[in-house]
Amino acid sequence: MFVNFFYELRRAGVPVSLTEWMTLMEALSKGLAYSSLSGFYYLARTVLVKSETYFDSYDVAFHNYFKGIETPADVVEQALEWLKKQIPPLMISPEERKMFEEWDLDKLRRELEERLKMQDGEHHGGSKWIGTGGRSRFGHGGYNPAGVRIGGESVNRSAVKVAAERRYRGYRSDETLGVRQFEVALRKLRLLTTSIDGEKDELDLDGTIDATCRNAGRLELVWGRSRKNNIKVVLMMDSGGSMDSYIDLCSQLFTAVNRSTHFKDLKFYYFHNCIYENVYVNPACIPRYAVKTYDFLRNLDPEYRLIIVGDASMAPSELTMVGGALDWTIMNNEPGLVWLERLARHFRHAVWLNPIPAQWWDARLYYGGYTITLIRKLFPMFELTVDGLEQAVKKLKAKY
């Protein structure tokens, strides 16, 4: 049943397993979808989708598979049978309740047949004829509290419409990051420890139980220090030039990182295209904001987690030649690769986040791909997407 829907989900990128699919079939056999397409939509999503990052892909697959479904030809008989079983809703006005109380199935059948005989074409709007968008008892796309939907699909929260709205587009894992997603991913970058100095202001429940037992049942409270994040982070961002295309994204990233208060220490530095003798404490990257890169390395111990954000796209000479820096304020006495190698050797945990999609990192497809390839040999590089950032965080937490 719905085998093609299974393959549609897989094509949309939803990782559905056969075990989950069989679980859905079992749920359907027990009537848990309540013979409703909307019920099936929510049931299948609950059983088959393991993470909210796939909600949008699920909606795409659902809409592609079920779009255009029409009410079957025997809709009148089915609608009347449905009416026999329904209990009028409680939260309705007295006028609407009166309409429910006046329901007579035989009368409703005769009224429907008479309308069909009298009506000679399509009708949209109004309150009498069978059509769309009106308040008639018969039709679809409109509203009547005591109405019967004939044909089409419901416009009032039908499953197909819900899927078509794609309300979870922002949950996709291949979308570029926003402030919220970056903050969520950064929270995963933590190593909790009690070794940081501070007040012993947190009750040690296990220690209290143990001490009380050793004290013959007389309560003895044991206090300890709360666990703090021991992670120290230094963020270096490429500023200006080709990065101007990503200025909005970088602003969001800076905002998110700046909001992060759970790190033991957090520092920001900037560079233009590549890192040479100086790094900068301001995005303007001008001499008065410069800090000697040797001082930068001397003042930051190797336990800092280094995150570099940049497109890694530049003239090859900026990486490979003395004096290759295109910025006239910089005279690099050593090639950019030499300085990047120093950073890679100094920091035990370092990653590079690239806003350019990974499909363009190949030098055969993109001019900047050559320098991207050279830098990837020094730093693990990840896309600036939700998935890419999560992979980068795992890399930063890994033990060497």
Is residue 183 a contact partner of residue 256, using CB atoms and an 8 Å limit?
yes
> Helix or strand or coil: residue 89?
coil
Strand 290-292 and strand 278-280: the pairing is antiparallel
CA distance linking residue 330 with residue 290, whole number of Å: 11
* Per-residue pLDDT reduced to its tens digit, 299-322: 999 999 999 999 998 888 889 888
The count of other CB atoms within 10 Å of the CB of residue 293 is 18
CA distance linking residue 243 with residue 312, whole number of Å: 9
The predicted structure's pLDDT at residue 119: 57
Lowest mean pLDDT among 30-44, 255-269, 330-344: 255-269
The predicted structure's pLDDT at residue 352: 96
The predicted structure's pLDDT at residue 118: 63
What band does 127 get if pLDDT is binned at 50, 70 and 90? low
For tokens 């892909």, the residue is 57
pTM: 0.52
Average pLDDT of 343-370?
A: 89
Exposure string for 346-373, b = 16+ CB within 10 A, e = fewer: bbbbbbbbbbbeeebbeeeeeebbbbbe
Is residue 256 a contact partner of residue 322, using CB atoms and an 8 Å limit?
no
Average pLDDT of 337-362?
A: 93
CA distance linking residue 193 with residue 211, whole number of Å: 22
One-letter amino acid for residue 208 of the chain: T
CA distance linking residue 340 with residue 332, whole number of Å: 13
CA distance linking residue 382 with residue 347, whole number of Å: 17
Give me the half-sphere count of Cα atoms (radius 13 Å) on the Cβ side of residue 291: 18
Q: Which residue has the higher pLDDT, 138 or 263?
A: 263
| pLDDT value at 174 more than 60 | no
What band does 382 get if pLDDT is binned at 50, 70 and 90? very high
Q: Which residue has the higher pLDDT, 281 or 90?
A: 281
Structure tokens at 30: 């027990």
CA distance linking residue 79 with residue 138, whole number of Å: 11
Structure tokens at 13: 């990128």
Average pLDDT of 264-289?
A: 89
The predicted structure's pLDDT at residue 160: 67
What percentage of the chain carries pLDDT values higher than 70? Answer: 64
The predicted structure's pLDDT at residue 280: 93
What band does 84 get if pLDDT is binned at 50, 70 and 90? low
Q: Which residue has the higher pLDDT, 19 or 101?
A: 19
Average pLDDT of 119-140?
A: 55
Is residue 103 a contact partner of residue 146, using CB atoms and an 8 Å limit?
yes
What band does 110 get if pLDDT is binned at 50, 70 and 90? low
CA distance linking residue 115 with residue 21, whole number of Å: 45
What percentage of the chain carries pLDDT values higher than 90? Answer: 22
What DSSP element (H or E) covers 131? strand 131-132
Is residue 351 a contact partner of residue 142, using CB atoms and an 8 Å limit?
no
Q: Which residue has the higher pLDDT, 266 or 72?
A: 266
